[in-house]
Amino acid sequence: MTKRIAVLTSGGDCAGLNAAIRAVVLHANTIYGWEVIGIEDGTRGVMERPMRVHPLAPSNFDGHMLRRAGTMLGSVSTGDPFAFPSPHGPVDRSEEIVTGLKDLGIDGLIGIGGDGSMQILDKIMQRADLPFVGIPKTIDNDVFGTDTTIGFDTAVTVAVEALDRLHPTAQSHNRVMILEVMGRDAGHIATHAAVAGGADVCLIPEFRYSIDGVVEAIQSVGHHGRRFSLIVVAEATPKSDGTQAMRPRPGGGERYGGIGEWIGDELEKRIGADVRVTTLGHVQRGAEPNAADRVLASALGVHAVDLMAKGKTGRVAVWRNRGVGDVSIEDVVSNKRPVSADDIVVRTALGLGIYLGDVPLAHQP
């Protein structure tokens, strides 16, 4: 009997989501002969009635989908279904999603998401008692069990392009240029961009730093005859007193933002540096996927379908040691993946003399 599976994208969008959806549809349909249903706007598409779902066929990908940024299915990153906002306070609407998935008559779901999405999808799929395979994506690269996530490489490329443009203007005006990058609670984008973009300082939430240390790094560059410097700072890096730079949201709550400006102000106060700050923001999410992300998305999409075909479900397809593999969804949702002191990119940054703050001594070169 023909199998029917569904696919959705969830959490913040990133480059390579359409490439992953395409790989799932091409492999499931062409190789296994399965039907594939696309669920719109993550779990929202099966929570609402009528449900917002549509069949996906290889012909949907004859155009530019492999190359296109964003997600053709739409995504969701607000409105936790277990505490969904309502005029009477948060309500649990997960049962509507469970019923919706069952009503689709599917034999399994492939969910393309980051850490937050995997947590929500895991709980929902356990209640639905349906086979699930996850595919990790996020510009933040903070998903446990995989060397890299779909969208990370492209986001780093965007950050490096920004440094490439900041470098000549920093040089022309003898300025300190600060680039604030995304990454949520992790500094992966920052460390990779700092190494690839030739930064002098890289501040991330994982390592403590001091403004004195930053000043020293800038001055030491000056002693070597260079009168400008480049600083990369990850959005969740705290101020040096440990408090977080946050921007309030009009509807309540807050989001990361402002650490670049704060560091810039400190440097102006301390050493009178001529500082300019660039906050890169969502351009890191919107780029067309580069070749590495297209390959990764395609490999994980194909592998996820193979896992489903073998009945290896409750798993997340991952990329490790230049190959595909899988880890349990429990491992993915119960572990974090911060930048570690023995990460090769951290060791490389230290080896290049980039100031990273207090990286545990045992790991200093």
Ligand X SMILES: Nc1ncnc2c1ncn2[C@@H]1O[C@H](COP(=O)(O)OP(=O)(O)OP(=O)(O)O)[C@@H](O)[C@H]1O
Positions in the binding site for ligand X (CB under 6 A): 10-12, 14, 42-43, 76-81, 113-117, 120, 138, 140, 184
* Residue appearing with tokens 């393309």: 112
For β-strands 254-256 and 246-248, DSSP reports them as: antiparallel
Query: Which one, 44 or 175, has the nearer CB to ligand X?
Result: 44
We find the least distance from the C-beta atom of residue 9 to ligand X, in angstroms, to be: 9
- 256 touches, from Mg ion, ligand X, ligand F6P, none (C-beta below 5 to 8 Å by class): ligand F6P
**Residue count of the chain:** 365
How far, in Å, CA of 2 to CA of 186, rounded?
Answer: 42
Q: Which positions ≥6 away from 274 have C-beta within 8 Å?
A: 173, 174, 175, 176, 268
- 81 touches, from Mg ion, ligand F6P, ligand X, none (C-beta below 5 to 8 Å by class): ligand X
Residues touching ligand F6P: how many (CB under 6 A)? Answer: 11
Q: Does 235 bind Mg ion (CB under 5 A)?
A: no
Q: Does 341 bind ligand F6P (CB under 6 A)?
A: no
Which residues 168-187 are close enough to bind ligand F6P by CB under 6 A?
Answer: 182-184
Which residue of this chain has its Cβ atom nearest to ligand F6P in the complex?
Answer: 182
Q: Does 119 bind ligand F6P (CB under 6 A)?
A: no
Any catalytic annotation for residue 92?
no
DSSP conformational letter for 13: -
Q: Which positions ≥6 away from 324 have C-beta within 8 Å?
A: 299, 300, 303, 317, 318
Spatial contact of 336 and 138, defined as CB atoms under 8 Å apart? no
* From 13, 122, 140, 142, active-site residue: 140
Q: Which of 42, 114, 131, 205 binds Mg ion (CB under 5 A)?
A: 114
The DSSP secondary structure of 217-270, one letter per residue, reads: HHHHHHHTT---EEEEEETTPPPTTSPPPEEE-TTS-EEE--HHHHHHHHHHHH
Q: Does 197 bind Mg ion (CB under 5 A)?
A: no
Spatial contact of 150 and 112, defined as CB atoms under 8 Å apart? yes
Q: Does 115 bind Mg ion (CB under 5 A)?
A: yes
We find the least distance from the C-beta atom of residue 140 to ligand F6P, in angstroms, to be: 5
Question: Per the structure block, which two tokens stand in for 127?
Answer: 């209640």
- 183 touches, from Mg ion, ligand F6P, ligand X, none (C-beta below 5 to 8 Å by class): ligand F6P
Which residue of this chain has its Cβ atom nearest to ligand X in the complex?
Answer: 116
Question: Residue 316 belongs to what H/E stretch?
Answer: strand 315-320
Strand, helix or coil at 121? helix
Strand, helix or coil at 180? strand
Query: Which one, 141 or 313, has the nearer CB to Mg ion?
Result: 141
Q: Which residues participate in catalysis according to the annotation?
A: 140
Q: Where on the chain is the footprint of ligand F6P (CB under 6 A)?
A: 12, 77, 138-140, 182-184, 235, 256, 285
Q: Where on the chain is the footprint of Mg ion (CB under 5 A)?
A: 114-116, 138
